[in-house]
Amino acid sequence: MPILPIDAGRYGTPEMRKVFEDETRLQKLLDVEAALIWALGEVGLYPKEKVEKVLEKASTKYVKPERVAEIEKKIKHDVMAVVEALAEACGEEGGFIHFGATSNDILDTATALQFKDALTILETKLWKLEEILMSLTEKHKKTLMIGRTHGQHALPITLGLKFAVWMREISRYIQRLEECKKRVLVGKLTGAVGTQAGFGEVGLKIQKLVMDRLGLQPVEVSTQIIQRDRYAELICLLAMLASTLDKFATEIRSLQRTEIGEISEPFDFRFQVGSSTMPHKINPITSERICGLAKVIRGFVIPALENIPSWHERDLTNSSAERFILPTTFILTDYMLNLMNNILSNLHVNKKRMIENLNLTKGRIMSEAVMLALTKKGLGRQEAYKIVRELVLKSLMEDKNFGEILLSDENIKKMFDEKELKEILEPANYLGTTIEQIEAAIKKTRMERETRKNLVK
User: How does DSSP classify residue 412?
Assistant: H
Among residues 100, 66, 101, 59, the alpha carbon closest in space to that of 81 is found at 66
- Our answer to whether residue 243 is catalytic in this structure is no
pTM of the model: 0.95
Query: If pLDDT is split at 50, 70 and 90, which confidence band does 457 have?
Result: low
Contact 189, 210 (CB under 8 A): yes
Contact 147, 156 (CB under 8 A): yes
Among residues 266, 65, 101, the alpha carbon closest in space to that of 192 is found at 101
Report, as an integer, the average pLDDT of 113-136.
98
Query: pLDDT tens digits for 86-108?
Result: 999 999 999 899 999 999 999 99
Domains of the chain: 1-99 (1.10.275.10), 114-359 (1.20.200.10), 364-424 (1.10.40.30)
Catalytic pick from 150, 276, 280, 312? Answer: 150
The C-alpha torsion from 64 through 66 and 68 to 73, rounded to 10°, is: -170
- Our answer to whether residue 275 is catalytic in this structure is yes
Catalytic pick from 77, 275, 348, 408? Answer: 275
Separation of alpha carbons 437 and 167, rounded Å: 13
Separation of alpha carbons 286 and 245, rounded Å: 12
Q: What percent of the chain has pLDDT over 90?
A: 92
Query: pLDDT tens digits for 210-254?
Result: 999 999 999 999 999 999 999 999 999 999 999 999 999 999 999
Query: If pLDDT is split at 50, 70 and 90, which confidence band does 270 have?
Result: confident
Q: Above 90 in pLDDT, residue 350?
A: yes
Query: pLDDT tens digits for 301-345?
Result: 999 999 999 999 999 999 999 999 999 999 999 999 999 999 999
Report, as an integer, the average pLDDT of 396-413.
94
Separation of alpha carbons 182 and 186, rounded Å: 8
Query: If pLDDT is split at 50, 70 and 90, which confidence band does 300 have?
Result: very high
pLDDT given at position 337: 98
Q: Burial level of 129, CB count in 10 A (0-12/13-18/19+)?
A: buried
Q: How far apart are the first and last CA of the chain?
A: 45
Average pLDDT, the chain: 96
pLDDT given at position 245: 98
